[in-house]
Structure 1
């Protein structure tokens, strides 16, 4: 588990992170979201002891990262895929890391196989593509078989097969009871990967909870319903002051669950041909709830002439 309490970081007069508290539970993939400049990278660096908080603390299974005797066996992290010596082979890069924490060479070969780099294990990392570097970074994070894993933009440079692989792999790691904390700007991917979310803006917490609740809270809840008795259905909804709109011969009904709407129709003797819940997207919810926290805003292009 990762637990941050009152985490604050100042750079001179700039406040990068402000009184931030959250928990990342084991057995789940937790997404870490926020606009550019929100403080995500600074927070992840403070978790790993790379930056010292101005105030507050962050603990990993009850300990500061700096107090871990063999940190690679406790925490794995991918923050920068370019962090490697260009003249070392992929295998020697991992062997160098493994030696520092008493990890056997056999584990190096295991993680290279896991991430699909066995065939290029002896090649210089300096000649790797971005996707290959991402896989090497993931191998580095897995090296000590840690219970806690942090990934910053893990799918950068990966092809569709690689993206699907890392998504499935993170789910499998969480099912083993590990703590998985992932930061990404690819919201469509996070919607499929993260069960929970920590969302920040301008260094402060905006939301912590499940992904589904975040989307529902921001975009509302609607149910699409279609009936061969549309007038009766409109009347029943209007009499109960239930909000609805029309869409392609169906009604979009707000603030009722499918079960509640089905019960209402049944009690009014109305036949239904469709009853399907509609949810917004994570992208819509993110834009709505973080709109006031965007640091860099783009302008609207002017018409030529």
Structure 2
């Protein structure tokens, strides 16, 4: 039985004159899934988000939400909570900006305004003019905007940029709550692998408009056994005859199946070696890209 995809990006290409910003890009997202877009500056992340949000039309291909083409059904975007370069009226307060939003959407929600300002820890600054806000405070006010109405899909462009540690944790918890408690899918771009690794279910890497990677993050653990001397070729052969998926580095044996430890220990003892160290490490994105150690 196939997966229940909420959003489908199908063979999307975006051209600006002779430049190809996105090249035959495809991606699917399920309800409740947290997906991170990573890639260098200018890779095509923001271009993709703008197309998904209906801000820009693809040169080829299509984006479907709930089985409907976004270009042909633009009103469906009302279900999206979007944080891409949020816009405010700087000369009025944060609270007044949200009240204006409630008037524009015909939703008189004083309670919701208070809830959002408290959730983003802006309530004590609600009377301040937005022009007095720091960049991080404006990011949090942008989160209030995109969560003001009931959201079916959350899209965030570099949401953690400019946030202090408290602001980052607030954003991360909001994303996790939306996905896990409300089954709302979240798509966000980021250049910080630590932030991505902490909350996302899947990572999609874009480079020069092309999809380079689309991989679930299972967060498996790596087990490392250290012996008292450098591992010989003879020991490697004996271990690989009994145990698969082993990696060797000088005096260390690394593997991801914890049940192998018994066989490894038995073979080492037979060969006159003993284990002098054992460690467990949670895998992360940096180890996936070879950026650790």
* Aligned match of 1:295: none
1:33-112 superposed matches below 5 A: 33-65=38-70, 67=73, 69=75, 71-72=77-78, 74-81=79-86, 83-106=87-110, 107-112=112-117
Deviation at 1:111, TM superposition (A): 1.5
CA deviation vs aligned residue, 1:208-260 (integer Å, no higher than 9, x gap): 121247xx8xxxx96421346x58998533434565223xxxx3325663322
Kindly indicate whether the alpha-carbon contact (under 8 Å) linking 1:227 and 1:233 is maintained by their aligned counterparts in 2.
no
- Note the residue ranges of structure 2 that are not aligned, 5 or more in a row: 1-5, 241-245
Task: Return the alpha-carbon distance in structure 2 between the equivalents of residues 99 and 153 of structure 1.
Answer: 28
Provide the alpha-carbon RMSD of the alignment.
2.8
User: Is the deviation greater in 182-191 or in 9-18?
Assistant: 182-191
Secondary structure of the corresponding residue to residue 122 of structure 1: coil
- Note the residue ranges of structure 1 that are not aligned, 5 or more in a row: 289-305
Kindly indicate whether the alpha-carbon contact (under 8 Å) linking 1:28 and 1:179 is maintained by their aligned counterparts in 2.
yes
User: Is the deviation greater in 4-13 or in 99-108?
Assistant: 99-108
* Aligned match of 1:185: 191
* Aligned match of 1:237: 236
Given candidates 283, 290, 305, the residue that maps to 2:286 is 283
Deviation at 1:206, TM superposition (A): 1.2
User: Is the deviation greater in 56-65 or in 272-281?
Assistant: 272-281
Count how many residue pairs are aligned between Structure 1 and Structure 2.
275
Give the alignment's TM-score, normalised by structure 2.
Answer: 0.82
Give the alignment's TM-score, normalised by structure 1.
Answer: 0.79
Given candidates 217, 240, 243, the residue that maps to 1:211 is 217
CA separation of 1:71 and 1:99: change in aligned 2, threshold 3 A: farther
Secondary structure of the corresponding residue to residue 258 of structure 1: coil
* Aligned match of 1:150: 155
CA separation of 1:195 and 1:274: change in aligned 2, threshold 3 A: farther
Kindly indicate whether the alpha-carbon contact (under 8 Å) linking 1:86 and 1:125 is maintained by their aligned counterparts in 2.
yes
Deviation at 1:24, TM superposition (A): 1.9
